[in-house]
Amino acid sequence: MFRGLSNVIIKEVKELIRDPKILLGIILVPALMFPIMGLAVQTAMQTAEESMRSISIAVMNLDNGPVAENLTNFLTTLNVKIVEVNNLNFSEAVSYVQQSNLTGLVVIPFGFSYNITEGLKTELNVYTVFRGGGIAESTSSSTISVLLKTFEEGLVFQKVHEKFPEEDPETILNPIGMVERTIIKGNSVNIHPSALFGAMISQSLGMPIGIMMLLIFAMQLAATSVASEKEEKTLETLLTLPISRFTILAGKMTGSIIVAVVGAVAYILGAIYYMSSFMGMMPAEIGVDLAAIGLAPTPISLLLLGASLFMSLISALALAISLSVFAEDVRGAQSLVGPLTMLFVFPMLFTMLTDIHALPFPLMIVLLAIPFTHPMLASNVAFTGDYLTAVIGIVYMAVFTIIVLYIAARIFGTEKILTAKLKFGKLRLRKRQKDQT
Amino acid sequence: MSYLIQVYGETEGNKEAEERFEHVGNGDYSLSFLSLNSAQRHANKHVRSVLFANRGLSMEFAVEAKNVVKDFGEIRALDGPSFNVRQGEIYGLIGPNGAGKTTALRVTSTLLLPTSGTVKVFGRDVVDEALEVRRLISYLPEEAGAYKNLSGHEYLEFMTKFTTRNKENLKETVAIAAKISGLEERLRDKVKTYSKGMKRRLLVARALMTKPKLAVLDEPTSGLDVLHSVHVRRIIKQYVEKQGVTVFLSSHNMLEVEHLCDRVALINKGKIVAEDSPAALKKKANVSNLEEVFAKVVGLV
Ligand SMILES: Nc1ncnc2c1ncn2[C@@H]1O[C@H](COP(=O)(O)OP(=O)(O)OP(=O)(O)O)[C@@H](O)[C@H]1O
Ligand SMILES: [Mg+2]
């Protein structure tokens, strides 16, 4: 039945991979997009770090008391460059800060020291210059407030110590020590939940996005490979070759999968590179050993994911091919297949952001009815341990796959592949003719 | 002129053709150098019947069409014609635009399903035994392309691999196609760099290279210049004479049909209005060429 299949596959892969548009759009751009993004973010981060190290602010000291002096000294010891603007009025100071590229202006009001020593509440006015809102800017402005808060904490400690010389100020201020752990699959594990979520982010975000990209690539390729046969007028010859029509269909699907996998791998490698460029900046506790706490994928969960993924690929391709048969050329096919990407984007967003089973019932049903939700759910099996859902999803996918594959085979097996056309225009014309008579 | 000799240099001892070739001027469609003398024809017919006996195909007709109807919605493209293509002959369909020539060839090639009636290729039904039929035929569409990102050579290899797995055969077949197409060095270039005529030559070559039992050729010389048309016609003739190929073709070019075909069918509005050898048709209508026969039969004059 499959005589000549490898020949067809080789041809499909050659045709697709040598197409400059496909090479660029599906392999090169995704592979380069992330590293370039990573580079941009890294550069921004570095600038932010540098600007943090060399913060310079203007200080308008209207108090001139001892606490105000302590404050400026504290900031200076922490490497903050301070420019005194006591000789300017407020509006002059503001325009000076703007012009001389300072991060902000701190105004210490009159009576600041007095109020603090007398135990009265006082105020400190901090003005940050808004220059465009990049990452570097927001970090340096938050740095100012962090430094001021640290100074405030010091004051509090000192006060507490004066009132209760016998006791540890730390115990008074933070009487409860919180120890946070996580329960995984019914066992308590000595890991902070946020650390765990950080570690899982690659799976709960990366997998659905990766699956979505793979499916979208494969569909576009399959649609292209059918439509270009029409556009380039090679279809008729292909259909009269001594091979079964199903072989042609299978060859097109396999060829598209191969090229899509290359594209998806390029995309994932790019994404990993991108992620790893952040890793250096994340706290070390994120290095959680997933295998040790039973969250690494088990062979069964991998098998389920693989099966689910395989079937969604096949059905997505059969769907794309069946649709693209109705198009006259590659452009037409791609715009016919384009709306189908909604079938991946919604499930991806919901699986990424929430637990689908916690959604309102109608929404949940709609999402579960979309076959492509299931591979994304299956990618969660590794940490939910909910094999049943995955298996039900796979059965559902299998039924859907068989149906669309049957439809695609029917279209390929008959003359429909040659004669099928979307006849919107024609129908309208006929109606008009009928109306006239 | 050296190019010419290279392409047409192989007249394989056919002195008559060689001599007449010299007299074919630019734009001269007479092609009379192709007509062999009757003794030669007779000998070739004998060779053909031996070839067929060896292939174990003793069905009487290469194509046997009975009351074929093909509707496209409200349009009736074929209105019940019946015709037979004999083994080892060149059978031509001629008719005006939209007469149903392409439709008839597509039905024969298993691309379209007849609305009613039957078509058999060497006794095999084009609907029920489509795959078997595809093993016997090779189809050259009226308007066709080749995979633009493959080289001409890769394209021919791809096409050959469906009929042979033997490396030697593969090489040989591709070499034959290279000769038929006359593309030579250009076969190494991607198809997207070819001109229309070069593409057509590649496709004609691929249709004939595997020596199919039945070659279905829809306007084989469309888009070719005079010299390449002459070359392609010569090759077609040669394949029928020497390789036992049967040819079922369509054409707009009456002179081409007149000199190439053993028998022709005149088709108009989906119906066959006359069928015979070109000579007999002319004689019956008492005119000097097929064009006039056609005009008479269709009622244009
Ligand atoms: N896919 C199709 N859908 C609808 N109508 C079609 C289709 N293919 C052919 N027809 C119609 O069938 C009729 C016969 O067309 P066909 O292509 O067989 O003509 P032809 O003899 O090959 O003409 P030409 O000399 O122009 O190639 C025409 O009226 C044409 O409009
Ligand atoms: Mg035609």
pLDDT of residue A103: 84
A151 vs A42 pLDDT, higher one: A151
A437 vs A105 pLDDT, higher one: A105
Mean pLDDT of B188-196: 93
Contact A415 B111 (CB under 8 A): yes
Ligand closest to CA B270: 1
Contact A242 B134 (CB under 8 A): yes
pLDDT of residue B28: 36
Q: What is the mean pLDDT of chain A?
A: 82
Report the alpha-carbon distance of residue B221 to residue B228 in Å, rounded. 8
A240 alpha carbon – ligand 1 mean position (Å): 19
Domains of chain B by range and CATH? 4-53 (no CATH), 89-99+136-297 (3.40.50.300)
- Quick one: which atom of ligand 1 is closest to the CA of B99? 21
CA of A268: how far to CAs of A35, A45, A152, A312, A435, in Å? 11, 23, 46, 19, 57
For A187-239, the pLDDT digits (tens) are 888 888 877 776 666 666 677 777 788 888 889 999 999 999 999 999 999 99
Measure in Å the smallest separation between the Cα of B73 and chain A Cα atoms.
11
For B216-244, the pLDDT digits (tens) are 999 999 889 999 899 999 999 999 998 88
Residue reference for tokens 């190290």: A53
Q: Is the pLDDT of residue A185 over 60?
A: yes
A337 vs A37 pLDDT, higher one: A337
**Which of A3, A4, A237 is closest, CB to CB, to B139?**
A237
pLDDT of residue B300: 62
Its ipTM equals: 0.80
A272 alpha carbon – ligand 2 mean position (Å): 55
Show which of residues 418-437 on chain A sit within 8 Å of chain B, judged by CB atoms.
418-419
Contact A242 B135 (CB under 8 A): yes
Q: How confident is the model at residue A422 (pLDDT cuts 50, 70, 90)?
A: low
Contact A237 B137 (CB under 8 A): no
Q: Is the pLDDT of residue B37 over 60?
A: no
pLDDT of residue B256: 86
Per CB-CB distance under 8 Å, the chain A contacts of B158 are: 7, 10-11
Sheet containing strand B214-218, edge to edge, reads: B137-140, B214-218, B246-251, B90-94, B263-268, B271-276
B32 vs A45 pLDDT, higher one: A45
Contact B162 A244 (CB under 8 A): no
Percentage of chain A exceeding pLDDT 90: 25
Report the alpha-carbon distance of residue B251 to residue B268 in Å, rounded. 13
Residue range(s) in chain A whose domain bears CATH number 3.40.1710.10: 54-174
For A55-108, the pLDDT digits (tens) are 889 999 999 899 999 999 998 888 888 999 988 899 999 999 888 888 889 999
Q: Is the pLDDT of residue B24 over 50?
A: no
What's the number of CA atoms in the CB half-sphere (13 Å) around residue A384?
17
What is the domain class of A54-174 according to CATH?
A: alpha beta
B258 vs A421 pLDDT, higher one: B258
Q: Is the pLDDT of residue A304 over 90?
A: no
**A18 to chain B: nearest residue by CA?**
B149
For A246-287, the pLDDT digits (tens) are 999 999 999 999 998 888 888 777 777 776 666 555 444 445
**Which of A4, A11, A241 is closest, CB to CB, to B147?**
A11
pLDDT of residue A136: 61
Per CB-CB distance under 8 Å, the chain B contacts of A15 are: 147, 149-150
Mean pLDDT of A117-130: 88
A336: nearest Cα among A345, A349, A327: A327
Task: List, as one string, the DSSP characters of chain B.
Answer: -HHHHHHH---TT-HHHHHHHHH--TT----GGGPPPHHHHHHHHHHHHHHHHHHT---SEEEEEEEEEEEETTEEEEE---EEEETT-EEEEE-STTSSHHHHHHHHTTSS--SEEEEEETTEETTTTHHHHHHHEEEE-SS----TTSBHHHHHHHHHTTT---HHHHHHHHHHHHHHHT-GGGGGSBGGGS-HHHHHHHHHHHHHHT--SEEEEESTTTT--HHHHHHHHHHHHHHHHHH--EEEEEES-HHHHHHH-SEEEEEETTEEEEEE-HHHHHHHHT-SSHHHHHHHHHT--
Q: Which of B121, B148, B170, B216 is the best residue to mutate to test the A interface, defined by the most A CB atoms within 10 Å of its own CB?
A: B148
pLDDT of residue B140: 96
Contact A236 B141 (CB under 8 A): yes
Percentage of chain A exceeding pLDDT 70: 85
Measured between CB atoms, does A363 come within 8 Å of chain B?
A: no
Measured between CB atoms, does A254 come within 8 Å of chain B?
A: no
For B65-107, the pLDDT digits (tens) are 999 999 998 999 999 999 999 999 999 999 889 999 999 999 9
pTM of the model as a whole: 0.76
